[in-house]
Structure 1
Amino acid sequence: LSCTAPAAAQQRPLVTEDPESIGSGLVLVEAGFDYQRDQHFPVSGLTGHLRSVPRFGVSIGVSSIAEVQIDNVSYDALSITGRAQAPLSHLLRVSSDRTSSWSDTVVGAKTRLLSEGGVRPGIALRFATKLPNAGNEEGIGLDTMDFYNSLLIGKTVRSLRVVGNVGLGILSDPTRGDRQNDVLTYGISFARAFAEGAEIVGEVNGRANTRPGTPPPGTDSSGYVRFGARFTRGLVRVDAALVAGLTAHDAGLGVTTGLTWVFRALELP
């Protein structure tokens, strides 16, 4: 059993980015559902159980080595279990025990620099920008724009694929327009095929604050571990995983499930 390049590029339920692109002229569409318990929002002071759907994303293969991505198109609904004083809690327009908002869409691109071969891993670069779709009045968003760049490395050995990411995130301070926080982003994942079209997958993915002292609110260290499985038949893949936060700022236990479909839509020269 082995992972082909298009299959490896289908990442759900993982978020660690694979260096392989989906392929020239191919389009990858994914959608899913996330549920996180005890999600804390330090800028608004809200805590609750968060549901996100449809978790829509699309990747377009513009060449054999590059793709354009639009991710995290979703609607978030929070069942509020607690409130606390926070930097922007005075801006809240939430009078009930529920609030909702569109999530922050992420637009990015990935380019492969080195193909995998022999003992050599595949290497790629990815750049992405998080847009401020979610407003802070609903208590879920930050109304900030963030930028990320990452080095992606991946290697397949027999039925095991291992992927690693390391990079820099430039996160805006949601309380001040003249300040930012630079964080180290990281991720390591594995996918182990155990039957035809079936894999066990897992990862640790997050960011580490690099600023001395107290970071701007909403830019603290954060990390999640995911463990699950995915099943592929043809160009369609179904996935499910458990998700758990690693820091006091992260959500508790959660689940994610989704569907990925790859099809040819473009004829490129």
Structure 2
Amino acid sequence: MRFGFRQQILTAVLLLSASSARADFRALAAQSAYILPETFQFSITSSALRRPGEEKLFSFPEFGIGYAVAERVELSGQWGLLFLDRIGQKALGGGGDVLLSTKTALFAHPKSWAAAFRFAVKLPNAKAYKGLGTDEADIFYGLLLSQRTGLFEFSQNLGMGILGNPVTGRGQEDVYTYALSANFKPSRFDFLVQWYGETNTHPEYVFSHAAASAGYRTGKVGFVFSGLKSLTTEPKGYQNTLGADWGVNLKIEWRPM
């Protein structure tokens, strides 16, 4: 039985950034082109992110739902509470942004290739003045490709993101998104490694992440532990700066059907 944590491996704890050019981590994580094998999925996640010398960010709980329609369309949503602790500042807390997405299967063979189109929207419901959101909606879309070989599943995602208000164009930035993942699924266990990120029209700007997960399912309930390491290069004056974040999360996933 396949886990669904590719869809929710990184949670609301990872969406914050000091730069408005950074996209929501949840929208960038690698996606399988296959639709959920069960009709319904529900998850609760606890996460922590640390940026050296800058801030600590915690999320608990984050709720996630997934719903498959006629084996062709998958609907999903995520929302969680965030707690931000910055050095020398008062700790803040509140609701994070909501991420809604749809995945439509173009074709799929259980033991071969699959392709799907994904569309996602990050709603601007979080409070930007607290550092918990951006006050602007972001849109993401792209092509998902997956191949199953024995106990392995490999996926590649290519797409684009529109960060900011696409109607007025003020403050808007377009980015290219990419992701690669390898999933090993022996029996009730599930192991996933992935690399994903974004880049804009300036080649010196790169924001990439590497993540690994291990999961185990007992009947209808699954447990997933994951870790993240990210690197970003951004132009600062006459030279690029290199930054690094790291984070962990624990997810409990329930599939009643």
Establish whether TM, by shorter chain, passes 0.5.
yes
CA distance in 2, matches of 1:148, 1:127: 6
TM-aligned CA distance change 1:69 to 1:160, over 3 Å: same
Which stretch of the first structure deviates more once superposed, 140-149 or 195-204?
A: 195-204
Which runs of at least 4 in structure 1 moved beyond 6 Å after TM superposition?
A: none
Establish whether residue 228 from structure 1 lines up as the match of residue 224 from structure 2: no
Deviations 1:196-234 (A, max 9, x none): 311221111221112478xxxxxx642221112111222
TM-score of the superposed pair, with normalisation by structure 1: 0.77
For the residue of structure 2 that corresponds to 1:75, the secondary structure is strand
The alignment covers a number of residue pairs equal to: 228
Q: Which of 29, 49, 58 does residue 65 from structure 2 map onto?
A: 58
For the residue of structure 1 that corresponds to 2:87, the secondary structure is strand
Q: Is the 8 A contact 1:36 1:251 kept in 2?
A: no
Partner residue, 2:256: 263
CA distance in 1, matches of 2:52, 2:101: 26
User: 1:1-269 to 2 correspondence within 5 Å?
Assistant: 4=1, 7=2, 9-11=4-6, 12-13=8-9, 15-23=29-37, 26-38=39-51, 47-71=54-78, 73-81=79-87, 96-116=89-109, 120-172=112-164, 178-193=170-185, 195-211=186-202, 221-247=206-232, 252-264=245-257
CA distance in 2, matches of 1:132, 1:165: 25
CA distance in 2, matches of 1:152, 1:225: 18
Letter in 2 for 1:257: L
CA distance in 2, matches of 1:154, 1:129: 22
Which consecutive unaligned segments of at least 5 residues does structure 2 have?
11-28, 235-242
Deviations 1:31-51 (A, max 9, x none): 1111011179xxxxxx31000
Partner residue, 1:91: none
Q: Is the 8 A contact 1:13 1:241 kept in 2?
A: yes
Letter in 2 for 1:113: L
Quote the sequence identity (%): 24
Which stretch of the first structure deviates more once superposed, 149-158 or 203-212?
A: 203-212
TM-score of the superposed pair, with normalisation by structure 2: 0.80
Letter in 1 for 2:137: M
Which consecutive unaligned segments of at least 5 residues does structure 1 have?
41-46, 83-95, 214-219, 265-269
Give the deviation of 1:241 after TM superposition: 1.4
Coordinate RMSD, CA, aligned: 2.4
